Amino acid sequence: MTVGTHARRVRTHVTGAASTAVRPVLEASRRPARVLAAFPAGIYLEVRTELEPSVIAVVTGLATRLPNSVLLAGALPRVTMGDEAFVGDGTVEVGGLILRARRWWDPSPPLGAVDPAALPPSSALARRGRPGLDGNDAVELLATSCASEWLLGAVTAAEKLVGLGPGLTPSGDDVLAGLLVTLRHLGAATGCQKAVDLAGWLGAAVTFDARTRTTPISATLLHCAARGEACPEVLAVLRGLAGRRPLEAALRRLRGLGHTSGADLAQGIAIGLETVRALGGRK
Amino acid sequence: MTLLDGPPHVIAAGAGLLADALAEQAAAVTGVTWRPPLAGTAGDLARVLADPRRQAANDLAVRRLTSARPHLTGVRRASEVLRQAEPTFLHAGPPITWERASGPMRGALVGAMLFEGYAHDEEEAVARLAGGEVRLEPCHQHAAVGPMAGVVSPSMWLYEVRDLEHGGTAYCSLNEGLGKVLRYGAYGAEVLDRLRWMDTVLGPVLSAAIELAGPIDLRNMIAQALQMGDELHNRNRAATSLMLRELAPAIADAAPGSASEVLRFIAGNDHFFLNAGMAAAKVSTDAARDIPGSSMVVAMARNGTDFGVQVSGLGGRWFTGPAGVPDGLYLGAYGPEDANPDIGDSTITETSGLGGFAMAAAPAIVRFVGGEVADAVAATRSMYEITLAEHPAYQIPGLGFRGTPTGIDVTLVARTGLLPVVNTGIAGKVAGTGQVGAGLVSPPVEAFTAALRALAENAADPSDP
Amino acid sequence: MSDAVFVRKGVYHDSVTLMRVSRALSELPGTEVAVVAMATELNLGLARDLGFELPAADPGDLLVALRGPDTATAAQELDRHLAALSAAGPGQETEQPPLTTRSAARRGGDLALVSVPGEHAFAEAMDAIESGLPVMIFSDGMPAERERLLKERADERGVLVMGPDCGTAVVGGVGLGFANVLRPGPVGLVAASGTGAQQVSCLLDQAGVGVSHVLGVGGRDLSAEVGGLSTVRALRMLDEDPATELIVLVSKPPDPEVAGRVRKVVESLRTPVVEALLGSGADLTAAAEDALRALGRPVPDWLSWDGSRPDGVRGPLVGIYSGGTLCSEAALIAGTGEFTDYGDDAYTRGRAHPMIDPTLRLEALRETPPGAVVLLDVVLGHAADPDPAAALAPAIAARHATVVVALIGTEADPQDLRRQAETLRDAGAAVFTSNARAARHAASIHRGNQS
């Protein structure tokens, strides 16, 4: 006997690639999830889990490969907000698709050793694009506190910034994400433990209650950033700062992200860069 | 980006299974629609591709071809240009004897005999030609080209085109118009009368006019004509108009008495520019000749019996195969059974990236050569697969101003099995008939495989002690 | 019963694709024999051996030879398959598909993967190098002097040549050829052997250690003729790569002079290198364990599944392999027995690799004498048989023999490592994820039998 009113849907098996950040959630036992938002190039799924990332982006090749994303080899299914989905046992099930990863990428690849003396000044980052929080006091406080190793100031500023601004990923979160990733990677690459420690403190402070302070998507991205996980556009700028690839082209691509997201991330990266330059000098 | 920086975009040639496995990983893949090369060419291809000179030689060859700056500098009588001790006629295509010559070639040769007064009638002309009293030599051997039969006799006038970039000079006869004309093998009284008028009026007037007007930039004119819907082989309407615009004042100044008949003659012939364009193509391809190791084609030409090609790295050698019968539309009651095999040096246009290679520029004539606009676009696009470069000046608006596919590489022809797309007029096979149609023709594959074999024999192979 | 033979001019598909079509047609009720293949000398010969009368054909033509009571249905079915294959292009009717690697490279790309028939691979690889692109040559059968030439030309352009006969690579996380789904991590492999690299990287993955890249160099790279050009370049590339913390070099017995040159390069690198020299007694499992120790990581007990063992078996030790390096490793460890590598050129001419098509190995398994100890490998990953156990398990269960399987793969592979292992175990096989351990196990049973 069958119960239920839904017509049985045809399930299509598809494959793709996934960030290793989502591997624990994908490989845990199957859990319900729901569609948070659906765009032409990406679907955001909120998974009922304590693990992070708790929001998974299912994207096509046209979308930014966020650190919490699964890249689909084919076309996205048609879904609407609130649709049910499942994640776990190695698959993402959404809109009639059963998606499995056939490739994994590392959203936090090491930068390798970098000579701190060779780092460019943060002015190299600040040429084009206007960040959403240009001239904001909390951003100023964040920058000066980080560079002067004033932890209380930095945490105070960071807490003000969480969830600040409009949109799916508020500007304040993007600035923090850019900063956290930069402190972690440039800190490790230049052997500046103080920067890495600062990333740890700040990361703990902003992720502690992020789920209640900002959008679920942005909260998940803050969790990723605290672990040093970022999209390829951010990682490319860090490689540019490390002198491993042309910086200008990488910056152009980063600034192309979202409405102000790219510029906001760049602002966070600039603060991180200044901090590493300042702290690296004081052993 | 260095290879190891991120997921690579993979070009996959071969087993579909491996390309599928990449797609399943959501990796960027470009699949190559690979096919085996032409039968029997694998060994020669490997030797030619291994030749350490090839890439640099081809780069140089195609750079010279595409950087040539052909200018029309004069119109001269053939007797002045080709100072031959004994009676000599030039003809289209690779070398040919009277015995092997096709109907239109024989007709044109007979016409030239009568025109020059070497014979009083057709019978005498045939007897003298069969007796070898006139030397027959390819136009290409004398830095010249001629459309269809391409017969040039001492009293004909030639365009003189100089390449101001590399200094070469090339020649081509003047266009007689359409219908019953010598180049299609007709030699009746009207044909001979017209030739006499061209010798006494048209040639001298044009010569004087160009002297007055100064060199005319043909590269520029061809580039403009492509953007006005010509492909410069079967459609020359725009180029003819441009040339007429350039020449008319000088013609009026130089010869006020005969200006109107000369201008009317030019205006009445949409193909008047063709011959100047062919000389421009010839001088450009000649700039790319004799580069050791280059596998680029510098001439394709037909004499009505054989289709021949010459290759930059192989000097003046001809590689031939039987000329095919074009596929196209016929005039009036004529049909394929009336058609002569492919004839003429006008394939020099395709050799230089025009004609069939620029079909996408000329949607107006796609019906004429039997197809839709999409076929024309497809024809041009397919030619990028066998050419070395895109012409920097000759561009096609409909393809986003992409340069025309230029510089046929013999190795790419063998690898892809794609033969050059050639637009052509069709001559009647019976001597004296004239033009019966126009269409597309495929060159014989053996001409290219033979050239490849010769390149392989000449290859400097470092791995072969 | 009738024969239908025809030739399609100018229709080309690769051999693996056509073999699938042939198989689909021969499974039709009205068809007994179906040969759909390019009309190469080899394929014409095979069709003639089957008793078909053949018309003249070029290697560039498609040969179709059908036999059975209803060849018309098969012919229709063929048209359907071919139409589906031609329609597979990504909807670019007006776009000219690239016909050469050179043409594709003009449209952009980072790496070329060449798997055309061996005699034509040189042209495609040369295209890649002249376009400034690294190339992986999956094809085999290229003369050594051509390989040398390609690698010299690649050195001038500063690009890497992987292969020829390079079965596997992982670049930037993307698996090329027969590659496993590996987690990203700190170990970079430079490998002269495809299955060797697969064994090492799969064991590392099992130990929770990922790889940065797997760069194949081709089995002949360290010979005097080729001179180790790709090995040296690959080592330097990994040394420059920030994601690579440890390099594992899987090499075949090198030419002494070349070995000296490579050693100098290894000593000049900042990144530590663990070397696994095949054929010298060091096995692949030991290499993976050395790498783990070098990273300070624990060596796990490599996964295995016990099989049942028929009583009173008494027979020879037979190795039925698809991976060349795995085969020679097992033969060396066992020290006795008859080992065959069905992935060798001699068995793959005109048919798909045994990792894709199990036919030859299934035949070999059926022909093993009763009571034999059979050792075989099953290699999982991209492009390999989507469910190898489905065909092998019944064949194993049907033999009165002790069967030991070396199962090379990761838990993330498309075939599902555990399900494959359990199916094979349920058929009676003992399954090991370490080939060396599988070989030792088989040899000890065989010795036990003998005593």
Predicted confidence (pLDDT) at residue B73 exceeds the cutoff of 60: yes
The reported pLDDT for the residue numbered C181 is 97
Give me B218's structure tokens.
Answer: 């043909």
Mean pLDDT of A199-216: 94
Distance separating alpha carbons of residues A98 and A91, to the nearest angstrom: 6
Q: Percentage of chain B with pLDDT > 90?
A: 84
Angle (CA) B75-B77-B80 rounded to 5° is 115
Coil vs helix vs strand at C246: strand
- CA count, 13 A, side-chain hemisphere, B260: 1
Q: Are strands A97-105 and A91-94 parallel, antiparallel or unpaired?
A: antiparallel
Residues in chain B within 8 Å Cβ distance of C101: 11, 13, 32
Residues in chain C within 8 Å Cβ distance of A110: 242-243, 245
Mean pLDDT of B252-275: 95
Q: For residue C14, which phi and psi values (nearest 5 degrees)? A: -75, 160
B26 interface with A at CB cutoff 8 Å: yes
Distance separating alpha carbons of residues B103 and B161, to the nearest angstrom: 30
Q: Are strands A69-72 and A12-19 parallel, antiparallel or unpaired?
A: antiparallel
Chain C, window 135-174: residues with a beta carbon less than 8 angstroms from a chain A beta carbon = 173-174
Predicted confidence (pLDDT) at residue B169 exceeds the cutoff of 90: yes
Shortest Cα distance, chain A CAs vs residue B25, angstroms: 5
Nearest CA in chain C to A23: C183
Band (pLDDT 50/70/90 cuts) for residue A281 is low
The reported pLDDT for the residue numbered B84 is 80
Q: Do C382 and B49 touch (CB under 8 A)?
A: no
B329-364 pLDDT per residue, tens: 888 888 889 999 999 999 999 999 999 999 999 988
Query: Cα A113 vs. chain centroid, distance in angstroms?
Result: 23
Distance separating alpha carbons of residues C246 and C292, to the nearest angstrom: 10
Q: Do B25 and A72 touch (CB under 8 A)?
A: no
B5 interface with A at CB cutoff 8 Å: yes
Q: For residue A36, which phi and psi values (nearest 5 degrees)? A: -80, -40
Query: Cα B47 vs. chain centroid, distance in angstroms?
Result: 29
Chain A, window 12-31: residues with a beta carbon less than 8 angstroms from a chain B beta carbon = 15-17
Distance separating alpha carbons of residues C314 and C298, to the nearest angstrom: 39
Band (pLDDT 50/70/90 cuts) for residue B425 is confident
The reported pLDDT for the residue numbered C89 is 46
Angle (CA) B267-B272-B278 rounded to 5° is 160
Distance separating alpha carbons of residues C303 and A135, to the nearest angstrom: 58
Give me C287's structure tokens.
Answer: 């290499």
Tens-digit pLDDT string for chain C (451 aa): 788 898 888 788 887 788 778 888 888 888 888 888 888 887 888 888 888 998 888 877 888 999 988 888 888 888 888 887 766 444 444 689 999 999 999 999 999 999 999 999 999 999 999 999 999 999 988 999 999 999 999 999 999 999 999 999 999 999 999 999 999 999 999 999 899 999 999 999 999 999 999 999 999 999 999 999 999 999 999 999 999 999 999 988 889 999 999 999 999 999 999 998 887 777 999 999 999 999 999 999 999 998 876 666 678 999 999 999 999 999 999 999 999 999 888 888 777 889 988 999 999 999 998 889 999 999 999 999 999 999 999 999 988 889 999 999 999 999 999 999 999 999 999 999 999 999 999 999 988 876 5
The reported pLDDT for the residue numbered A283 is 45
C174 interface with B at CB cutoff 8 Å: yes
Chain C, window 175-214: residues with a beta carbon less than 8 angstroms from a chain A beta carbon = 175, 181-185, 210
Q: Do A61 and B7 touch (CB under 8 A)?
A: no
Q: Do A110 and C242 touch (CB under 8 A)?
A: yes
Residue from B2, B11, B49, B445 to probe the interface with C (highest C Cβ count within 10 Å): B11
Shortest Cα distance, chain B CAs vs residue A15, angstroms: 5
Distance separating alpha carbons of residues A158 and B383, to the nearest angstrom: 60
Residue pair B160/B70 in contact by the 8 Å Cβ criterion: no
Q: For residue C62, which phi and psi values (nearest 5 degrees)? A: -95, 125
Q: Outline which parts of chain C fall under CATH 3.40.50.261.
A: 101-294, 304-450
pTM given for the model:
0.91
Residue pair B276/B146 in contact by the 8 Å Cβ criterion: no
Per-residue exposure over B114-123, b if at least 16 CB sit within 10 Å of its own CB, e if not: bbbebbeebe
Query: Cα B128 vs. chain centroid, distance in angstroms?
Result: 31
Distance separating alpha carbons of residues A68 and C245, to the nearest angstrom: 25
The reported pLDDT for the residue numbered C57 is 85
Give me C265's structure tokens.
Answer: 């390069």
- The residue type of C162 is M
Residues in chain B within 8 Å Cβ distance of A105: 7
Which residue in the block uniquely carries the two structure tokens 């299955």?
Answer: C195
Band (pLDDT 50/70/90 cuts) for residue A2 is very low
Predicted confidence (pLDDT) at residue B417 exceeds the cutoff of 50: yes
Distance separating alpha carbons of residues C168 and C217, to the nearest angstrom: 10
Distance separating alpha carbons of residues B301 and B343, to the nearest angstrom: 8
Residues in chain C within 8 Å Cβ distance of A17: 173
Predicted confidence (pLDDT) at residue B438 exceeds the cutoff of 90: no
Give me C28's structure tokens.
Answer: 């039709």
What subunits touch chain C, counting only 3 or more CB pairs under 8 A? A, B
Burial grade of B188 (CB within 10 A; 0-12, 13-18, 19 or more): middle
State the DSSP string of C305-369: E-----TT----EEEEES-HHHHHHHHHHH-SSEEEETTSHHHHTTS--TTT--HHHHHHHHTSP
The reported pLDDT for the residue numbered C281 is 73
Q: Tell me yes or no: is domain C304-450 CATH 3.40.50.261.
A: yes
Of B1, B7, B24, the CB nearest to A102: B24
Residue pair B275/B173 in contact by the 8 Å Cβ criterion: yes
Nearest to B437 by CA among B354, B332, B366: B332
DSSP state of C299: P
CA–CA distance from C343 to each of B448, C322, C391 (Å)? Answer: 38, 5, 18
H or E element, residue C426: helix C417-426
DSSP state of B67: H
User: Which residue stretches of B146-269 are H helix?
Assistant: 189-197, 203-213, 218-226, 237-254, 259-267
Distance separating alpha carbons of residues A184 and A151, to the nearest angstrom: 16
Higher-pLDDT residue of C84 and B207 is B207
Burial grade of B432 (CB within 10 A; 0-12, 13-18, 19 or more): buried
Longest CA span, chain C: 72
The reported pLDDT for the residue numbered B100 is 97
Neighbours of C29 (CB within 10 A): 9
- CA count, 13 A, side-chain hemisphere, B122: 11
Q: Tell me yes or no: is domain C101-294 CATH 3.40.50.261.
A: yes
Strand residue runs (E) in B275-434: 297-303, 306-311, 319-322, 327-330, 343-344, 387-396, 402-408, 422-427
The reported pLDDT for the residue numbered A7 is 47
Chain C, window 401-430: residues with a beta carbon less than 8 angstroms from a chain A beta carbon = 412, 414
Q: Do C243 and A109 touch (CB under 8 A)?
A: yes
The reported pLDDT for the residue numbered C168 is 96
Higher-pLDDT residue of B125 and C55 is B125
Query: Cα B381 vs. chain centroid, distance in angstroms?
Result: 19
B3 interface with A at CB cutoff 8 Å: no
Shortest Cα distance, chain A CAs vs residue B20, angstroms: 11
Shortest Cα distance, chain C CAs vs residue A185, angstroms: 12
A73 interface with B at CB cutoff 8 Å: yes
Q: For residue B311, which phi and psi values (nearest 5 degrees)? A: -125, 140
Nearest to B140 by CA among B268, B279, B241, B6: B279
C199-229 pLDDT per residue, tens: 999 999 999 999 999 999 999 999 999 999 9
The reported pLDDT for the residue numbered B369 is 63
Q: Outline which parts of chain C fall under CATH 3.30.70.
A: 2-86
- Global ipTM: 0.93
Shortest Cα distance, chain C CAs vs residue B287, angstroms: 24
Taking one residue from A and the other from C, the number of pairs with CB-CB distance under 8 angstroms is 41
Residue from C171, C181, C240 to probe the interface with A (highest A Cβ count within 10 Å): C181
CATH classification (class only), C2-86: alpha beta
- Average pLDDT value for chain B: 94
Chain C, window 305-344: residues with a beta carbon less than 8 angstroms from a chain A beta carbon = none
Distance separating alpha carbons of residues A120 and C193, to the nearest angstrom: 43
Which residue in the block uniquely carries the two structure tokens 């605290």?
Answer: A226
Distance separating alpha carbons of residues B354 and B359, to the nearest angstrom: 8
Nearest to A65 by CA among A241, A183, A280, A231: A231
